[in-house]
Chains A and B, each alone.
Chain A
């Protein structure tokens, strides 16, 4: 009997793309920011990156062994978490604190929820929030690398929060040679990484553009001292963790909405919260908290913007 009709169940279209391939491309796209971090913040930045990545991978290994799950540390997702956490801390953070943050990010932020794909919140940001709540003094003191030593310096956003005028040009903000978290300062390096992700098709412009656009709009309208519509929006989108957050953390496949409309709503929500925290909040920067807060709304956004069948009623919540 000849086989003329083959019956199989879905999926029918197969792709070469795998989770680990995507993850390792994301790691590659994060390398420019790492190079910039070492250039601006010197060797301490390199130590931080290595410590965070190694401890993240080891924690993932330990958790998967203890919980009796298949060991999948080769897929690169723990490496990304480690890298992003390192990019989210100050260069002067003691290494053991960074390691503790990394362990917390993987164990509590990811594995407790069931591992890759099941975590509600971005693990790296969970780690950062833990460090912010635990060691606020160490997390909010920022440095630059000068003549082989770390020199304490206020971030431009802190200067603005204190009511001053930051002494940085847009070019400095774009290139990243100023105080801040080690991976967030260089917009140029982050945009190179973002281009790689866009070229590979792993992220779309929906979340980042709506996020950055909302922050620009909000800070332009409300951010100025000379009344409405006088804010320095270019300063606000170039400084702080906005570029790192918008391109690399708000676009995390696991913790962001599936549909394009949902992603736009997600980005707008992040932008609103970030602007509110920056302009009227107690802390100078709000990117990490805004993404964490919006992470919690993702199931609702997914449901709200789910494609409907013809005639199907939309159910809120």
Chain B
């Protein structure tokens, strides 16, 4: 039951974007389309789970004074794996995401979960926490990406919605990302109060 909660909390109750307000930089930058959002979300989820598990395994060996650099090295290792795999098998996506793939290293969700959770909990809990947080991040990012792709480009997953649709360009631009995120936060708050 408690284990299940460690997974479940990341989806909505402690959603990394909507509640913890972490990882906003990739959220605003790469949520221009559903494809980008999903690619970013899944990459971050993989790194999050792997680093969470590894850090919870080695937490007793790391002196607390150098823990942050050690976490960064561990996270960077997994990010390098993601980067190379993506470049080999999904070159188009890799080109689209650009600098934001290596920047997963300093994604504050991952470092935040490492510091706040994985460094003091067991392996199974850390795995579930990483999975929940990752899925929560991916889902939120995908919703923003979907809304922005439909409104800003008139497409879903790259396919046009309708031929005579006039795209609202602002949603393809950074202000559109802030706006959609803000409206999503409103929805979340309204939902919480009900």
In this complex, what residue of A is CB-closest to B173?
Answer: A133
Number of B interface residues, CB 8 Å? 9
A134 in contact with B168 (CB, 8 Å): yes
Residue among B170, B171, B173 facing the most chain A CB atoms (10 A cut-off): B170
A135 in contact with B169 (CB, 8 Å): yes
| B interface SS class | helix
Complex A-B: 17 CB contacts under 8 Å = A97-B166, A100-B168, A108-B179, A112-B182, A130-B170, A133-B169, A133-B170, A133-B173, A133-B175, A134-B168, A134-B169, A134-B170, A134-B171, A135-B166, A135-B168, A135-B169, A136-B169
Q: For chain A, give the interface size range.
A: under 10
Q: Which A93-118 residues have C-beta < 8 A from chain B?
A: 97, 100, 108, 112
Complex CA distance for A97 and B165, rounded to whole angstroms: 12
Nearest Cβ in chain A — how far from B184, in angstroms?
Answer: 14
The residues of B that contact A136 with a CB separation of less than 8 Å are: 169
Complex CA distance for A11 and B148, rounded to whole angstroms: 50
Leading 5 A-B pairs by shortest Cβ distance:
A133-B170, A134-B170, A134-B168, A134-B169, A130-B170
Nearest Cβ in chain B — how far from A99, in angstroms?
Answer: 13
Residue among A112, A133, A134, A135 facing the most chain B CB atoms (10 A cut-off): A134
Nearest Cβ in chain B — how far from A67, in angstroms?
Answer: 10
The residues of B that contact A134 with a CB separation of less than 8 Å are: 168-171
Nearest Cβ in chain A — how far from B190, in angstroms?
Answer: 9
In this complex, what residue of A is CB-closest to B152?
Answer: A134
If A130-B170, A133-B173 are given as contacts, then 9 extra A-B residue pairs at C-beta distance below 8 Å, sorted by A number, are A97-B166, A100-B168, A108-B179, A133-B169, A133-B170, A133-B175, A134-B168, A134-B171, A135-B169
In this complex, what residue of B is CB-closest to A132?
Answer: B170
Nearest Cβ in chain A — how far from B167, in angstroms?
Answer: 8
Complex CA distance for A97 and B169, rounded to whole angstroms: 12
Complex CA distance for A130 and B182, rounded to whole angstroms: 16
Q: Which B139-194 residues have C-beta < 8 A from chain A?
A: 166, 168-171, 173, 175, 179, 182
Complex CA distance for A293 and B147, rounded to whole angstroms: 28
Complex CA distance for A100 and B170, rounded to whole angstroms: 12
Complex CA distance for A49 and B166, rounded to whole angstroms: 22
Complex CA distance for A97 and B168, rounded to whole angstroms: 9
Nearest Cβ in chain A — how far from B175, in angstroms?
Answer: 7
Complex CA distance for A108 and B168, rounded to whole angstroms: 16
Q: Which A254-297 residues have C-beta < 8 A from chain B?
A: none
The residues of A that contact B175 with a CB separation of less than 8 Å are: 133
Complex CA distance for A134 and B175, rounded to whole angstroms: 11
